[in-house]
């Protein structure tokens, strides 16, 4: 069986997954829509929440690229497959029942529903690749749970890029969008790091560890490293992602911005006080090798 090469970006929020997606998408073999897991709510069954635009500049519901994929997917899936959010591997609509359902499915129960969800995601990936006329799929869904389910699909040749940002910088960004204390944000970073670390090792994933700061400082070197890892010709990608039209769910302004260079964001140095920085460093000391951001 010919397997589809599937690249999955595993990361915490505010860690540079959108930048990495834009860069990888310049490779002529790679197709992506960014966070695949949001396709159901953004396109198939719009929930009306947090309406955003595609990176091409058009609203999702008006983007021809997204609509062609949507129609192709709907033509292939039975109505029952759309009853729950298959891109989130949702077993039940009720979030409490769904949590129990996902746990039970990992123990071998709900095999029919699990297969239905896997098949629906296979169809989505196939149609995205067909629409883009590409052979490699890139998924920036970030979530560990997603990696678990997707890696079980036999038709996917699954690769994980574990993208990690310096906790001081990530915590600073997280505080802009969440009502957390610095301590809570740092603890959340540490907890998720532990979960990802254990899962990647126990799950025997084929993965590559990538520091966001290294990507910004040496983008060419790090991109060559990534593409070699997934078995693609590194000479074919480009650092100039802003001049290419892409249909990615994420930061529209990143593609439409005017900055010509990839620059490491250091606003955390001004946003966090020296005392807060020390607090983050103490809380995340187990992972001090990720304290790589420049001062």
The domain limits of the chain are: 4-165+214-261
* 3-class secondary-structure state, position 5: strand
Q: How far apart are CA 220 and CA 115, in angstroms?
A: 39
Residue keyed to tokens 């790091």:
193
pLDDT of residue 294: 61
Q: What is the largest CA-CA distance in the chain?
A: 57
In tens, the pLDDT along 216-270 reads: 999 999 999 999 999 999 999 999 887 777 888 755 444 444 455 788 888 999 9
> What separation in angstroms does the CA of 139 have from each of 6, 101, 131, 150, 267?
8, 24, 16, 10, 28
In tens, the pLDDT along 157-171 reads: 999 999 999 999 999
Model confidence band, residue 60 (pLDDT cutoffs 50, 70, 90): confident
281 compared with 55, residue with greater pLDDT: 281
pLDDT of residue 256: 41
Mean pLDDT value across the chain: 91
Half-sphere exposure of 263 (CA within 13 A, CB side): 9
Model confidence band, residue 61 (pLDDT cutoffs 50, 70, 90): confident
The mean pLDDT of 184-209, rounded to a whole number, is: 95
Q: How far apart are CA 119 and CA 114, in angstroms?
A: 9
Residue 204 has pLDDT above 90, yes or no: no
Within the chain, how many helices (H) and strands (E) appear?
13, 5
pLDDT of residue 254: 46
pLDDT of residue 57: 82
């Amino acid at each position: 069986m010919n397997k589809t090469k599937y690249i999955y970006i595993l990361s915490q929020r505010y860690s540079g997954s959108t930048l990495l997606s834009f860069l990888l998408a310049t490779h002529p073999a790679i197709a992506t829509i960014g966070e695949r897991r949001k396709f159901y709510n953004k396109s198939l069954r719009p929930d009306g929440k947090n309406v955003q635009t595609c990176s091409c500049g058009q609203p999702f519901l008006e983007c021809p690229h997204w609509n062609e994929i949507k129609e192709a997917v709907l033509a292939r899936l039975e109505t029952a497959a759309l009853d729950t959010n298959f891109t989130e591997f949702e077993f039940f609509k009720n979030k409490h029942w769904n949590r129990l359902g996902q746990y039970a499915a990992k123990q071998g129960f709900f095999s029919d529903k699990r297969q239905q969800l896997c098949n629906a995601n296979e169809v989505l990936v196939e149609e995205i690749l067909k629409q883009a006329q590409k052979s490699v799929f890139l998924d920036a869904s970030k979530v560990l749970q997603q990696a678990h389910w997707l890696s079980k699909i036999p038709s996917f040749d699954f690769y994980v890029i574990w993208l990690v940002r310096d906790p001081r910088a990530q915590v600073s960004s997280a505080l802009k969008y969440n009502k957390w204390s610095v301590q809570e944000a740092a603890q959340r970073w540490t907890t998720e790091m532990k979960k990802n670390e254990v899962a990647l090792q126990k799950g025997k994933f084929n993965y590559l560890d990538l520091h966001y700061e290294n990507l910004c400082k040496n983008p060419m070197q790090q991109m060559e490293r990534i593409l070699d890892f997934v078995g693609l010709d590194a000479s074919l990608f480009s650092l100039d992602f802003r001049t290419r039209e892409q249909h990615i769910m994420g930061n529209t302004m990143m593609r439409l911005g005017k900055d010509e260079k990839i620059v490491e964001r250091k606003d955390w140095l001004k946003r966090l006080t020296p005392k807060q920085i020390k607090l983050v460093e103490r809380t995340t000391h187990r992972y001090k090798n990720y304290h790589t951001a420049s001062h």
